[in-house]
Chain A
Amino acid sequence: MPRLVAFGCSFTQGWDLHDQYILERQGYYNSQPSNFAYPKICAKLLNYECVNLAKGGNSNIEILSSILKFNFESDDICVVGWSFFDRINFVKYNEDIHNFDRLPYHIKNSEGLDSSVNTDSNTSLKNYYAIHHAECYLKNKNIKYYGLKWVHDFYTFIKPSFLHVKLLDFNPRTLISDKAGDNRHPGIKSHKLIGEKLCEIIKSDLNV
Chain B
Amino acid sequence: MSRLITFGSSVTKGFDLPDQWAKHDYSNIRPSIYAWPNVLNNLLKTDTLLNLAENGENNLSILYKVLNFNWQEKDICIIGWGYFYRSETLKLRYNVLPLFTNTDPNNIDVDDNAIKNYLYIQHTHLYLRSINVQSFGLKTLDDFDRNKCPDYIKIPELLDDSGIENCYVDLANDKHHPGVESHELYAKKIYERIKDYVIH
**Do A162 and B95 touch across chains, with their CB atoms under 8 A apart?**
yes
Interface 9-mer from B43-51, B114-122, B175-183: B114-122
Interface 9-mer from A20-28, A130-138, A172-180: A130-138
**Do A97 and B123 touch across chains, with their CB atoms under 8 A apart?**
no
Q: CB within 8 A of B115: which of A69, A94, A161?
A: A94
A103 within 8 A of B: no
Which residues of B are found within 8 Å of A140, using beta-carbon distances? Answer: 126, 129-130
Which residues of B are found within 8 Å of A139, using beta-carbon distances? Answer: 130
Tell me the nearest residue of chain B to A96, going by C-beta.
B150
**Interface residues in B86-113 (C-beta closer than 8 Å to A):** 91-95, 101-103, 109, 111-113
Complexed CA–CA distance, A126 and B119 (Å):
12
**Interface residues in A146-184 (C-beta closer than 8 Å to B):** 158, 160-163
The DSSP consensus for interface residues of chain B is: helix
Q: How far is the CB of B16 from chain A (nearest CB, A)?
A: 32
Give a binary string over A110-138; 1 marks a CB under 8 Å from any B CB, 0 the rest: 00000011010110111001001100110
Tell me the nearest residue of chain A to B118, going by C-beta.
A93
Complexed CA–CA distance, A124 and B127 (Å):
19
The DSSP consensus for interface residues of chain A is: helix
Tell me the nearest residue of chain A to B152, going by C-beta.
A69
**Do B130 and A97 touch across chains, with their CB atoms under 8 A apart?**
no
Complexed CA–CA distance, A123 and B95 (Å):
13
27 contacts between A and B (CB under 8 A): A68-B122, A69-B152, A92-B109, A92-B112, A93-B112, A93-B113, A93-B116, A93-B119, A94-B112, A95-B115, A97-B115, A119-B91, A121-B93, A121-B94, A122-B92, A124-B94, A129-B63, A129-B92, A136-B123, A136-B130, A137-B122, A139-B130, A158-B94, A161-B95, A162-B67, A162-B68, A163-B67
